[in-house]
Amino acid sequence: MIQRKRLRMEQSGKQHGKQQRKRRRLGRLAAALGLILSMALIGAMLSACNGSTNDAATTATTATTAATTTAAGADAATTQAAETTPAAAEAAATTAANAPPPQEEGFAEYDGVSNFVITEEPSTVTLFYPFGANGAPTPDMPVWQKSAELTNVTMENVANPSIADDAQSMSTMLASGTLPDIIWGYKENLRPLISQGAFMPLNDLIDQYAPNVKRFLSEYPDALASGTGPDGQLYYIGGTLGGEAGQALPSMAYFIRQDWLDKLGLPIPTTFQQFKDTLYAFRNDDPNSNGEKDEIPYLNRQSGIWGILPLFGAHNNTTYLGDDGQIHHEAITETYKEALRELAVWYKDGIIDPEIWTRGGQARQELFGNDTGGSTIDWVTSTGAINTNPDILAQVPDINLVGFLPPADVNGRVWMYYTREALHAYAWGISKDCADPVKVMRYMDFWFSEPGHLLQAFGIEGVDYTLVNGEPELTDEAKNKPESYPVYSRTIGIFEIGKEGSMESEITTMNDSSREAFELYLNSDCLVPPLPALTFTEDEDEARNRINEELGPYVDEYQQKIVLGAEDIDASWDQYVSGLESIGVNELTSIWNDAYQRYVATIG
């Protein structure tokens, strides 16, 4: 923690001017845009946001990316990948230490600044980018056609378009024999490939052939650390969402029914006690005015009660980084115990959705749509969009969900733990089978260059955006696409490849309510940086999977028993803790600490 704080302080001076410019651009874009999300997008977001509770890295990854794989899916992917590529590890041992080959004939004068032609003759690179819920880039899309024009290199996506599950698509690709030049994926899915030897180390290639990637990694040392394997070599390059290195960005926010607060004459709650009193008032004072005690003051479609544990001073993940710079396990602490004790009372009193563990992903749509839901903690973009959702407005015309900052917890601390790293959760690396690493490295470098960045952030100049005083602004035509800009942007080839991102392009997808919540959190100082994505050795991964498989359900089952009132906490706590220990909670924590210490050492 201390290390990360120091890093941020060191970075803040250097990044300040850049940050100011980005903020200004963000503000202008925010003011210029008032886009309404289409139903299609809301649907996509609803289905894309999964929750998980048992493993901090998994939760952070899902929260960061709206990944379509569940925690169990990611674990399964790891297992499948390990099973299908036994040969990869052997092969890698022979290539791992090789220096990059010297530049060969046929290369053009790519410099990444003013000349972007990579090969003299047209050539191709093969890319694995799975066709998940949002589709994948293909060479015929305008953004990728334009990149081929500029670089003379055409991308060929080798992923099987008929496999929608990312992890399954990857294991199919790995089993096929020859690997493509570039493997793209969520870091969670890429990480095991490092220890299996599927990637070649990139450090020397970047140093010699990729000036833009080199600059990027020097500006974002956490991106360097995140792609670095246990052996200290860099294996994949992720991107950022914009913002400065080490900065936490908003992901989820607290939302509450402002129209209900108005009806009851209540302010936005700012303390634990005020929030609790407000929830009880929602339950008891009929804010939906139907004469029935049918209100459900707190709901959560994803993470059960984990989301509100921080109000009690506990963490929303079992695995968390303490102020002492060590990883701890939350579900074994006294703070957690006391939180469960009070939440059992809340549950009995009808404050928490009685079906919080069973209602499923449509809970938000259902309970705000039938005018019984009062507050939740959820993704900023899709939750703000409830206010402009025609289906919900047809039933609850006055609905007004507003984002508000977390109330001060029982200890007086205001903190938001659902955040994203400025880093993206996906990345790309060059496979061990790549025949032309120099070309492929330069191809990746292109996407970190100015024209590559503009293409991936805003599309085609003159069609999708124009430069106004040197700053990109979306055209009205692009903004007002009937299918919504986010959906349109994918049809032209804007996808989450590893690149230097921009918050401006994300803000374009938000309606007023979402944007206000986003900016409220962005400009607050309550955002707690998520635990960085750590790399584990193959043995560590095996042990983590083995322990988590038993520990996760054990923790969840006990938590639900207590909150549902099926078991007395004082009578059962000691035995529960013994159970955690015999399953291996201490070994798990120790593995996390080892990986975290390696990360700290890498980031310096």
For residue 321, the surrounding DSSP H or E stretch is: strand 319-321
Binders of Ca ion among residues 294 to 313 (CB under 5 A) are 294
- Residue 192 vs 369, nearer CB to Ca ion: 369
Long-range contacts of 43-48 (CB under 8 A, 24+ apart): 44/133, 44/134, 44/487, 45/379, 45/381, 45/382, 45/385, 46/361, 46/362, 46/364, 46/365, 46/382, 47/133, 47/361, 48/133, 48/134
Q: How many residues does the chain have?
A: 604
Please report how close the Cβ of residue 371 comes to Ca ion at its closest, in angstroms: 8
Binding-residue total with Ca ion (CB under 5 A): 5
The tokens describing 372, both together, are: 């019984």
Burial class (CB in 10 A: 0-12, 13-18, 19+), 254: buried
- Residue 204 vs 286, nearer CB to Ca ion: 286
- Residue 371 vs 519, nearer CB to Ca ion: 371
Please report how close the Cβ of residue 276 comes to Ca ion at its closest, in angstroms: 19
Please report how close the Cβ of residue 277 comes to Ca ion at its closest, in angstroms: 18
CA atoms of 54 and 553, how far apart (whole Å): 9
Please report how close the Cβ of residue 323 comes to Ca ion at its closest, in angstroms: 43
Asked whether position 286 contacts Ca ion by CB under 5 A, the answer is: yes
CA atoms of 203 and 215, how far apart (whole Å): 13
Please report how close the Cβ of residue 349 comes to Ca ion at its closest, in angstroms: 15
- Residue 13 vs 291, nearer CB to Ca ion: 291
Residue (of 415, 416, 328, 322) closest to 1 by Cα position: 322
- Residue 266 vs 454, nearer CB to Ca ion: 266
Please report how close the Cβ of residue 370 comes to Ca ion at its closest, in angstroms: 11
For residue 555, the surrounding DSSP H or E stretch is: helix 538-563
- Cβ-contact 162, 393 below 8 angstroms: no
Please report how close the Cβ of residue 297 comes to Ca ion at its closest, in angstroms: 11
- Cβ-contact 143, 459 below 8 angstroms: yes
- Residue 65 vs 288, nearer CB to Ca ion: 288
- Residue 90 vs 355, nearer CB to Ca ion: 355
CA atoms of 460 and 458, how far apart (whole Å): 7
- Residue 264 vs 600, nearer CB to Ca ion: 264
- Residue 156 vs 294, nearer CB to Ca ion: 294
Alpha carbon distances (Å) from 211 to 14, 109, 112, 448: 19, 13, 7, 9
Binding Ca ion (rule: CB under 5 A), the pick from 105, 292, 334, 570 is: 292
Q: Assign residue 570 a region (left: φ > 0; alpha: ψ between -120 and 50; beta: otherwise).
A: alpha
User: Which segments within 150-266 are labelled E, that is strand?
Assistant: 153-157, 182-186, 237-240, 248-250, 252-257
- Residue 163 vs 264, nearer CB to Ca ion: 264
Please report how close the Cβ of residue 372 comes to Ca ion at its closest, in angstroms: 7
Please report how close the Cβ of residue 342 comes to Ca ion at its closest, in angstroms: 24
Contact range with Ca ion by CB under 5 A, out of 293-301, 313-321, 381-389, 458-466: 293-301
Contact range with Ca ion by CB under 5 A, out of 12-20, 196-204, 292-300, 583-591: 292-300
- Residue 350 vs 437, nearer CB to Ca ion: 350
Contact range with Ca ion by CB under 5 A, out of 247-255, 280-288, 348-356, 403-411: 280-288
- Residue 72 vs 264, nearer CB to Ca ion: 264
For residue 9, the surrounding DSSP H or E stretch is: helix 2-32
β-strands 373-379, 182-186 pairing: unpaired
- Residue 288 vs 419, nearer CB to Ca ion: 288
- Cβ-contact 359, 353 below 8 angstroms: yes
Contact range with Ca ion by CB under 5 A, out of 54-62, 290-298, 495-503, 576-584: 290-298
What is the sign of the dihedral through the CA atoms of 125, 129, 130 and 131? negative
Binding Ca ion (rule: CB under 5 A), the pick from 288, 300, 375, 509 is: 288
Torsions phi, psi for 437 (to 5 deg): -60, -30
CA atoms of 331 and 345, how far apart (whole Å): 19
For residue 589, the surrounding DSSP H or E stretch is: helix 585-603
Please report how close the Cβ of residue 293 comes to Ca ion at its closest, in angstroms: 6
- Residue 141 vs 399, nearer CB to Ca ion: 399
Please report how close the Cβ of residue 283 comes to Ca ion at its closest, in angstroms: 9
Binding Ca ion (rule: CB under 5 A), the pick from 20, 94, 103, 290 is: 290
Asked whether position 151 contacts Ca ion by CB under 5 A, the answer is: no
The tokens describing 519, both together, are: 């900016």
Please report how close the Cβ of residue 376 comes to Ca ion at its closest, in angstroms: 18
Binders of Ca ion among residues 56 to 85 (CB under 5 A) are none
Contact range with Ca ion by CB under 5 A, out of 107-115, 230-238, 266-274, 283-291: 283-291
**Angle between helix 538-563 and helix 71-84 axes, rounded to 10 deg:** 160
What is the residue-wise DSSP string for 53-85?
-S-HHHHHHHHHHT-SS-HHHHHHHHHHHHHH-
From residue 179 to residue 208, what is the string marking binding to Ca ion with x (rule CB under 5 A)? ------------------------------
Please report how close the Cβ of residue 513 comes to Ca ion at its closest, in angstroms: 24
Torsions phi, psi for 97 (to 5 deg): -95, 5
Q: Assign residue 177 a region (left: φ > 0; alpha: ψ between -120 and 50; beta: otherwise).
A: left
Please report how close the Cβ of residue 290 comes to Ca ion at its closest, in angstroms: 5
- What's at 270, amino acid-wise? T
Contact range with Ca ion by CB under 5 A, out of 72-80, 279-287, 356-364, 451-459: 279-287
Asked whether position 586 contacts Ca ion by CB under 5 A, the answer is: no
CA atoms of 216 and 239, how far apart (whole Å): 9
- Residue 292 vs 570, nearer CB to Ca ion: 292
Question: Which residues are near Ca ion by CB under 5 A?
Answer: 286, 288, 290, 292, 294
